[in-house]
């Protein structure tokens, strides 16, 4: 088995009322105005409390709205060798 590092860099235009907050573990997440927190991993993840369970959205329009905000995307792949 070998390791693969994947770096995803997105540039997005987002509403002015979105905020960057930290969880109790220090992980940055986005606070949306409707009381929902969002983390973007391989796909956007949502929670009503950043300390609880995160899940993807089942609403296709929500996912499409988020993806429409992406202005550019860069993905790099690198195998780690020792």
Query: Six-digit token pair at 19?
Result: 């905020």
* Cα four-point dihedral sign 11, 23, 5, 46: negative
Cα–Cα distance between 50 and 47 in angstroms, integer? 6
Give 24's pLDDT tier (boundaries 50, 70, 90): very high
Give 17's pLDDT tier (boundaries 50, 70, 90): very high
Higher pLDDT, 40 or 51: 51
């Amino acid at each position: 088995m070998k390791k693969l590092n994947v770096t995803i860099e997105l540039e997005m235009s987002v509403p002015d009322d979105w905020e960057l907050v930290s969880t109790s573990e220090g992980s940055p997440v986005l606070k949306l105005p409707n009381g929902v927190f969002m983390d973007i991993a391989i796909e956007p993840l949502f929670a009503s409390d950043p300390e609880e369970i995160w899940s993807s959205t089942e609403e296709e329009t929500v996912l499409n709205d988020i993806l429409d905000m992406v202005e550019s995307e860069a993905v790099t792949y690198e195998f780690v060798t020792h």
